[in-house]
Amino acid sequence: MRKLLFIILLGVQVVHAQNLGFNGSGMFENYDADVEQYLVDLNAPFTIRFPGGSISKFHDPYNVKRGWGLSESNIKQWFETTGFDEDGNGLEKWLRKAEEQPAHSYLDDLIALQKKFPNMQVLWVLNVLNSTPEANMQAIRYLMSNGVNIVGVEAGNEVYGKYASFSEYIPDFEPVFAMIRKEYPKIKLGLIVGANLGRNDIVRWNDAMAGYKGDFDAVIPHYYYTARELGEAYDMIPLRNEFDPAKSNDDLCRAYDKAATLLLEENDLLGDGCRYLQQKFPGKEIWITEWNTKPSEMLNNTILNGQWQFSQLIEISKMAEYLIIHNGVGPDKYGMISKSNKYDSEPNEMIRRMGYFAYKLASEARDAKPMSAQNIPNLSKSAKGTYKYYFTNTGEAYTADFHIPAGAAIKIHAVAGKHLYSGCGTTGYMGKGSVKSYEVKGINRSDFNNTIPAYSFGYVEVEVR
């Protein structure tokens, strides 16, 4: 397999305006003491997007004080009259979700979470499709009056699939935007923009939105690598196989090697998207409130996906004001923290996955300038200070001499596995008969011995004294 290395030089830590975070979809449904401790252990600021994506067209948490405020009557009426559903799962899924809601409001859980994590920020997704401006404001007022730090609102979720044109969208968000601007002028306002420019309807939507002269602060795209970009690799991945981490799998090696080429070398979906939006909407912030590889059974919770998430969290945060990974805490492989299943050897019900460690490492190594493996900086005459270099290595271990001056301290902070497909427990390629595992156990921190580990990502930290 190929070696692929990106090493980035960091100087003394720079304060960033940009904000990292994760989606709150499914968070309170899966929240427990372990999850809370994991969030404490992140030791990093975060922004959470609530209540989530497709649920936004049904939530009314102030008036329906169960969970996020889903009601059976509202859901049935929606599907009888409109039927729009971004994820395509339909009526039965949403009726089940409404039935499963707890007897208390998640608004109160969010208030308690804010008290536990006072530096937490919240992006709030409005229900512009199936509610009223006043009902939306009631939830915002309740949260704000109880200390929740709402920094921005989103006018729905992927709503371009609902409207025939952008002009039909305007009367659904303008009234509540005006109320928010009047009552909470510090809360920023975001509009939904399309990411797939291969669709003519999306291009028309974006063109019309670019000509809109109304009041808003940010544009909000969602970016997922799918079979459109990664199909050649996806076709090679053997799903739901009998898997033993003690044995190398040649089919997985070939598939993930191809995926590494497509994901890390040949495509730059988020970067290209940000550059397009900067040109299309000058002066507007970019909030990427969902991004990952999709479907989750292909690459999620593996070294390769972690490498990509880690590098994106560092690089794209320079262009996007909010970079919100999908997902934070949930039941499936999208989660940075997710529920265990029969393929996990860890005893806890909720387990840290690869995205958690990618997020933690990226939070520690933010500001960066790219370097090549052949041009590692010579620090022998460097001034006193702390320097950091980040890397992703898709191949075997190799030697890296950083020319460190005498007396300097050097450490490595890295996540590594036996293969690119190595995971933090369950992955999509595991099936009946698989050996329970949790192969990649987290971040290794140690003195640096001039060796970058195989199949790894992380950073080297140098303290010149």
Predicted confidence at residue 154, as pLDDT, reads 98
| pLDDT top residue among 197 and 86 | 197
What is the pLDDT averaged over residues 44-60? 93
Predicted confidence at residue 5, as pLDDT, reads 43
pTM over 0.85: yes
What is the pLDDT averaged over residues 53-65? 91
**Over the stretch 397-420, which tens digit does the pLDDT of each residue have?**
998 888 888 888 999 999 999 999
**Over the stretch 130-164, which tens digit does the pLDDT of each residue have?**
999 999 999 999 999 999 999 999 999 999 989 99
pLDDT at residue 10 tops 50: no
What is the pLDDT averaged over residues 321-325? 98
pLDDT at residue 64 tops 50: yes
Topology of the domain covering 16-255+268-364: TIM Barrel (3.20.20)
What is the pLDDT averaged over residues 88-112? 92
**Over the stretch 359-376, which tens digit does the pLDDT of each residue have?**
999 999 987 455 547 667
Question: How confident is residue 465, by pLDDT bands cut at 50, 70 and 90?
Answer: confident
| pLDDT top residue among 373 and 354 | 354
Domain residue limits, the chain: 16-255+268-364, 369-464
Contacts 24+ apart (CB under 8 A), 331-339: 331/26, 331/29, 331/30, 332/296, 333/296, 333/297, 333/300, 333/301, 333/426, 333/427, 333/428, 334/292, 334/296, 334/300, 335/26, 335/30, 336/22, 337/30, 337/35, 337/38, 338/30, 339/30
pLDDT at residue 2 tops 60: no
- When mean pLDDT is compared across 323-327, 420-424, 449-453, the lowest value belongs to 449-453
How high does pLDDT run on average in the chain?
92
pLDDT at residue 12 tops 50: no
| pLDDT top residue among 207 and 2 | 207
Predicted confidence at residue 397, as pLDDT, reads 92
- When mean pLDDT is compared across 13-22, 54-63, 177-186, 447-456, the lowest value belongs to 13-22
Question: How confident is residue 86, by pLDDT bands cut at 50, 70 and 90?
Answer: confident
pLDDT at residue 11 tops 50: no
Selection from 87-91, 180-184, 406-410 with the highest mean pLDDT? 180-184
- When mean pLDDT is compared across 213-217, 297-301, 366-370, the lowest value belongs to 366-370
What is the pLDDT averaged over residues 21-41? 97
Question: How confident is residue 323, by pLDDT bands cut at 50, 70 and 90?
Answer: very high
What is the pLDDT averaged over residues 39-48? 96
